[in-house]
Amino acid sequence: MEKLHLHEYIRQQREQRGLSIRRLAAAAGLDFSYLAEIERGGVERPGPTSLSKLATALELPLRELFTRAGYDTPRDLPTFAPYLRAKYDLPDAAIAELAAAFERVNTEYDRDQGRAA
């Protein structure tokens, strides 16, 4: 079976959950017309924040939506901070602190381009 494009996948997942476009847009905190445009295929690569909101509302893995949107290389993927902003209602200072902690852990476990044991 051929892999669905992002817009087809979002529509399929929404319909499987019995949601209207308006209901999903409200649940994701997105404008109805923007979501309708995504589902029509008019927005091929929605921003990471919109994808994060849709993934949360549809209870889907964020990476699945990123991959289908064409964010397939590490430099294309957003950093940890935009994810935190999209997923949690935290002050900027908390996001900066968490992002710094993530970078420390990532550096420790990503030595020499391989994973530490």
- What CATH number is given to the structural domain containing 56? 1.10.260.40
Question: Residue 28: pLDDT band by 50, 70, 90 thresholds?
Answer: very high
In the block, which residue shows the tokens 């991959």? 67
In a shared domain, residues 111 and 100: yes
Q: Residue 111 gets which letter from DSSP?
A: G
Q: Is the pTM above the cut of 0.85?
A: no
Q: Are 34 and 43 spatial neighbours (Cβ–Cβ below 8 Å)?
A: yes
The pLDDT value recorded for residue 105 is 83
Residue 107 has pLDDT above 80, yes or no: no
Q: What pLDDT, in 10s, does the model give residues 76-96? A: 566 777 777 777 788 889 988
42/69 Cα distance (integer angstroms): 12
Q: Residue 73 gets which letter from DSSP?
A: S
Q: In 3-state terms, what secondary structure has residue 77? A: coil
In a shared domain, residues 86 and 50: no
Question: Domain range spanning residue 18?
Answer: 1-77
In a shared domain, residues 65 and 96: no
Q: Residue 101 gets which letter from DSSP?
A: H
- Number of folded domains that form the chain: 2
The better pLDDT of the pair 113, 95 is held by: 95
In a shared domain, residues 63 and 39: yes
